[in-house]
Structure 1
């Protein structure tokens, strides 16, 4: 069976300080815009417990979910986290695919910047990459750059200027503590390592790398998902 390229992704592991908050982005393909998305907890997707859904309930206690079909990702926000909240959670699109990640709540030492580690897109397509950051970076300038080394990578777009360059644009959402980078009309030559970066005056900038792979044709959905995202399970 061959179809259009299908991917779903999120961060693999998130570490948050006890008492803090986190917003998890879950990316999905354009064809899933109108599907119900949900967030569940448990080591096994077959028995995971649904917490919130994009239909109902969208909020339960300190957990809420919000879908952004135009950007093709939904976010889950968890507030007032406790060590008991540590565990496996799943980004899920109803009936299609689910993605497993681990949330660790620790007394101190949360990750500063995080994103998806690998994204695969069909040639000619588009992708929106979410980059999460800590609350202390809300007012910092963020940027998207290209290259193997984050300290010497070539800046493409920035949240100050330029916010758009060719087919690449950047948008910051301080309230959700995430900035997004959208890349349109992708070509094979766009294959490379990119970086979500936060500018820190007087110190080395903070950031996380993302590998972008652009495919020149259609491929097996099952082969692609298990090759690129081993934590994904597809329900047939």
Structure 2
């Protein structure tokens, strides 16, 4: 039984032949983040990929190399392999809330691909607004759109009280602050 187990280990996900430099990364909303994955000697000319999805078997490949060191680009994501350092780098740009998910660094091979899980989160955003004296009891709200006629209000107070607990009011400093986590 033991020899069968030893033969099986190299083909399961998370094999030591491939590791993520960090298994959890985060980036700012509308910003970018970088993920590096390292691999053992012998995998240099294999195709590398980056996929999204909580389950290994159902993840969707977003970008993939052709086995060379040429950078490949997808929609707001790129991948580049440095075969000398045996590291490939994935860059995600223009981050949105829905980019927070489970991703996988992978190497394509016959049989089961090598893969390692990476959790991506988007950093919360804090917005602080100032208002003048006399406006303390007025409704305060925040919407992410520049057009006030079409924006959807995410947070709103009723006078000096909170409508949602993501907003804090400091009437002495005439400010209100809001922290936004993924919607």
Larger C-alpha radius of gyration, 1 or 2? 2
Paired with 2:93 and 2:37, the residues of 1 have a C-alpha distance of: 17
1:17-36 counterparts in 2 under 5 A?
none
State the TM-score, normalized to the length of structure 2.
0.56
**Structure 2: any 5+ residue segments left out of the alignment?**
1-14, 128-183
Which position in structure 1 is the counterpart of 2:45?
A: 139
4+ residue stretches of structure 1 with deviation over 4 A?
Answer: none
Q: 1:128: Cα distance to partner?
A: 1.1
Q: 1:218: Cα distance to partner?
A: 4.3
- Is structure 2 residue 20 aligned with structure 1 residue 112? no
Paired with 2:75 and 2:59, the residues of 1 have a C-alpha distance of: 18
Which position in structure 1 is the counterpart of 2:54?
A: 148
**Structure 1: any 5+ residue segments left out of the alignment?**
1-109, 220-236
Paired with 1:112 and 1:177, the residues of 2 have a C-alpha distance of: 11
- Which of 121, 133, 137 does residue 27 from structure 2 map onto? 121
CA RMSD of aligned residues (A): 2.0
CA deviation profile, 1:47-96 (whole Å, cap 9, x unmatched): xxxxxxxxxxxxxxxxxxxxxxxxxxxxxxxxxxxxxxxxxxxxxxxxxx
Secondary structure of 1:136 counterpart: coil
Secondary structure of 2:125 counterpart: coil
Q: 1:151: Cα distance to partner?
A: 2.6
- Is structure 2 residue 73 aligned with structure 1 residue 168? no
Paired with 1:182 and 1:145, the residues of 2 have a C-alpha distance of: 12
Secondary structure of 2:42 counterpart: helix
State the TM-score, normalized to the length of structure 1.
0.44
